Amino acid sequence: MSRNAKVAGMRRLEGMTALVTGATRGVGRGCAVELAAQGASVTITGRTEREGDSRWPGSLESTCVEARELGGQIEGVVCDHRDDEQVAAAFERVTRDKGRLDLLVNNAFLIPDDMDPKVPFWESSLDCWDDMHQVGARSAYVATWLAAPIMIEQGSGLIANVSSQGARYYTLHPAYGAAKAALDRITRDCGHELEAHGVVTVSIWPSFVTTERMLALDPEEWELDLDGAESPRFTGRGIAELLCDDHLMAKSGRVLTTRQLADEYQFVDGDGSLPNGAPDPGDPGPLLAPD
């Protein structure tokens, strides 16, 4: 897991392989770019292949261009995480081409374009639940299910689920909170079963992130205060630190905020700032099954 921890410089993840889901934009894109910049060989998935294919900026193509401009190794795979066969094919491609998988970042999450946080849940479509649980909780479970045998065979691996404070505090919509809470539970329970095999699972809570979607909103209309927000790459910096931690297993099954990671590993955002961070999720206690 941490065999490259002592490699000097920003290329310390050289030789490691990573798969980041939902990396066309937002936190997924930031993670992919940061991990590639630090030397990992990164594969990304997403539905938007080229700019203009979606109403939102960001694509597999532009993510790869950004990472390669920083000297990173990266390739994109068109993949709809509602389709298990497409997801399985992406994992088969990684194992065939790379031979191993050191890191899985489960970031894919579908927030419906027509979801309005100002509309009460009983007036919103039931699709809100289906979308965020299918591409969010379920897609993370499917990817973890596929990654587990690969990592168990090699005796190591890190699975990082991009969750949020919505798992514990009201955010956006009840369906959003339920999906994020499910992610944290997947982290905890899968971690319990994977611990004996040397595979680590963590949930990571970014705080407010300057994603393409966030920057497209009217700050006054949505009452947004981005002072102290973090860049999409900040989460990737935290995950890179985890990969280089010789005592990572002690964190398995836990929820960690990006700010907690920054404080522990002493890193800052790309502009030199230290974002405010999400609320402290608290210590969930040891990974134990009932007697």
- Catalytic residue list: 176
**Which residues lie below 8 Å from residue 271, measured CB to CB, with a gap of 6+?**
231
- Other beta carbons within 10 Å of 78: 14
Residues 250, 191: Cα–Cα separation, whole Å: 11
